[in-house]
A and B are shown apart, each in its own frame.
Chain A
Amino acid sequence: MATRTVTIASSVGLHARPAALFVEAASSSGLDVEIAKPGEDPVDATSILGVMALGAKYGEEVVLTADGDGADETLDELVALLSRDLDAE
């Protein structure tokens, strides 16, 4: 089980466009990826509603976990994605 902690860099938080890009990337990995706020129950990272309902705001940390072949590479990509201001791009 691979784990990463990353701070949300999108100035508007993980909603709408940033959430859609994240969910698309997580889905295309084909792995079981989960996302959680530290200490809270994780949600399926391929569910846009689950991800948006986390309510992760700018500057907040989230924890990503994944299982299976290529889990580390997948999480590194997702961390890189969340570290950019997706809404400004």
Chain B
Amino acid sequence: MAESEPTSETRQGIGVSPGTAYGPVVQVAPPVRPPAGEPSVDDQEAALADVRAAFESVAVSLEERATRVEDTAQQILKATALIARDKGLVKAAAKELAAGHGRANSIANAIETYAVQFEKLGGYFAERVADLRDVGSRAVAAVLGVPAPGVPAFSEPSVIVAEDLAPAETATLDRSLVVGIITEAGGRTSHTAILAAQMGIPAVVQLSHATEIPPGTPVALDGDSGEVTIAPDMALVTAQRERAARRAEALAALSGPGLTADGQPVALLANIGGVDDAVAAGALDLEGVGLFRTEFVYLSATKAPTVEEQTEIYRGVFAPFEGRRVVVRTLDAGADKPLKFADLGPEENPALGRRGLRLSAERPDLLDAQLEALATAARETGADVRVMAPMVATAEEAAWFARRVRENGLPKAGVMIEVPGAALRARHVLDEVDFGSLGTNDLAQYTMAADRMQGALSDLLDPWQPAVLDVVGAACEGAASVDRPIGVCGESAGDPLLALVLVGLGVTSLSMAPSKVPVVRLALSLHSVAECRALAEAARAARTAADALHAVRESARAELIELL
């Protein structure tokens, strides 16, 4: 076997900044850590002077870089420089030196005393921890006299690869040399994603083993699809580039509310899980939020969050959506996502246990506090807030929830349809409320009796399983018979082909990762409702999930298929 021949390999990450890029990999130097067993210092004053000089040099270099960039990047760098020059850090480092630690460890420990405080504060404050640790790592490098962490010098247009990029690094990248960015960590709303999109550099995050790609290896990345090909052949690079250009053109030509080719509205909405997501999604061309998961408000808390604490968080989520809809899913916890303050004990089958609305039924105080906070924040922000309960199985449960929602002064109550029993009886369940929302991930898990946490069962959980489509179809028929809107807020809503099938089954809104909205908008614009119905029929007529997908690919418009 020839070992010098590089083999081409394609991996999937998350595309966060559109466009394609091709170039050799430049690996970013990881953060510098203080050495273990660093001796304590004899001359405290001299050591403290070194520490102070290290922080000062970091501040100066950050400020110097701030002069070379604009707007957001400049603000981030200036704020980070202010941290490096903080008197509190030097004081904390002096204490560490006095306690017998060496210079580098004293700096790192001083940083950690603040990092821990910020993490405890949570929310916005916890997000500053990355900036703080970046300052620490740079100061440690300075005091040790080693090269600063970050992007090494390079002269050829390259793709930057890192575990994650500190804001200071992303902000100061040379646009003419950096053709693409890949990170192993990070997320859709990380600094890397926001700044890369702002700078127009194609970027992919969450690419596994990215830091193990040898420097100099050519890679091709697609910042829309999230695909990264290591050592690609040139034909693929060219094809990818052309397809991406055609897709970008097609997506850019469309905007505004989702409409089928014959003009039926299908609301295009975002799935979000926190304030950052809300701010990011609020700036985009979409009609609102179809699923706001509220678990983050509770999961790290050791005691039940107060109405006031919750109101503040919800205000932050709703504010970017004044005049647009935000569908809130009430607390969805249970044995697999236990709460420290409402633990009902271990269960043998958490997915089938006291979770979702079933937990709220045992702890209505938690639900009432959440509804009160949601109502207050809704009034203050002017967002069109609608509330829905997870894990509803019966019409009685739906009625119980709707009454509590209305008693708390919220105008619209709905339920998640994720239990097959509720889907089959949607006519009665939805008659009690104003709308339904299909959680297709859980609906597939319960329809196919396959645990979502079991990777080995993923074939059974394929959203193209005809049985799952049948259950979705039954729920849509029930909703239509009592004239209630029914949406989808699972991953399948963001798949352009599956989205067409769902609309054909009778779904009236689609909620997805915000980055998927443009391609779903395009898919809808190319198909009439009648065509969507034909696609749905073709999918349901198939014998297997693979056949269903194949049938829809064959029958959907070629203009769409060639762009996917």
Query: Which residues of A come within 8 Å of B, CB atoms?
Result: 11-13, 15-17, 20, 23-24, 44, 46-50, 52-53, 55, 57-59
Contacts and interface: CB of A to CB of B under 8 A. Distances in A.
A44 B87 contact: yes
Given A17-B79, A20-B79, A24-B82, 12 more contacts: A17-B75, A20-B75, A20-B82, A44-B87, A48-B79, A48-B86, A49-B86, A52-B118, A52-B125, A53-B114, A53-B121, A58-B315
Contacts of A52: 118, 125, 128
A55 B124 CA distance: 10
Nearest to B313: A57
11 contacts: A11-B316, A13-B124, A16-B79, A16-B128, A17-B75, A20-B79, A44-B87, A44-B88, A53-B117, A53-B125, A58-B315
Contacts of B138: none
A49 B89 contact: yes
B312 A58 contact: yes
Contacts of B132: 49
B259 interface: no
A47 B128 contact: no
Nearest to A53: B117
Nearest to B87: A47
Given A16-B79, A23-B82, A49-B83, A11 B88 contact: no
Interface string B127-138: 010001000000
B125 A47 contact: no
B86 A16 contact: no
A11 to B, nearest CB: 7
A48 B312 contact: no
A82 B8 CA distance: 56
A15 B316 contact: no
A48 B316 contact: no
Contacts of B124: 12-13, 15-16
Given A16-B128, A20-B78, A24-B82, A49 B316 contact: no
A4 B117 CA distance: 26
A55 B121 CA distance: 7
Interface residues of B, number: 21
A15 B125 contact: yes
A58 B316 CA distance: 10
A24 B83 CA distance: 12
Q: Which 10 A-B pairs have the closest CB atoms?
A: A47-B88, A55-B121, A20-B79, A15-B124, A53-B117, A49-B86, A48-B82, A49-B88, A49-B114, A50-B88
B311 to A, nearest CB: 9
Contacts of A46: 87
B82 A15 contact: no
Contacts of B78: 20
Contacts of B114: 49, 53
Contact of A59 (B88, B89, B118, B312): B312
A82 to B, nearest CB: 16
A47 B316 contact: no
Contacts of B88: 44, 47, 49-50
A58 B319 CA distance: 14
Given A11-B316, A23-B82, A55 B87 contact: no
A13 B319 CA distance: 14
A48 B85 CA distance: 9
Contacts of B315: 11, 58
A53 B88 CA distance: 11
Nearest to B88: A47
A16 B315 CA distance: 19
Contact of A15 (B86, B117, B128): B128
A46 B114 CA distance: 16
B125 A55 contact: yes
Nearest to A87: B124
Interface in B69-96: 75, 78-79, 82-83, 86-89
A12 B316 contact: yes
Contacts of A23: 82
B83 A48 contact: yes
A44 to B, nearest CB: 7
A23 B132 CA distance: 16
Nearest to A58: B312
A24 B132 CA distance: 18
A50 B117 CA distance: 10
A57 B312 contact: yes
Contacts of B75: 17, 20
Contacts of A12: 124, 316
Nearest to B319: A11
Contacts of B118: 52-53
Nearest to A15: B124
Q: Which of A12, A23, A49 has the most CB of B within 10 A?
A: A49
A50 B89 CA distance: 10
Contacts of A44: 87-88
A50 B87 CA distance: 9
Contacts of A55: 121, 125
A57 B309 CA distance: 10
Contacts of A57: 312
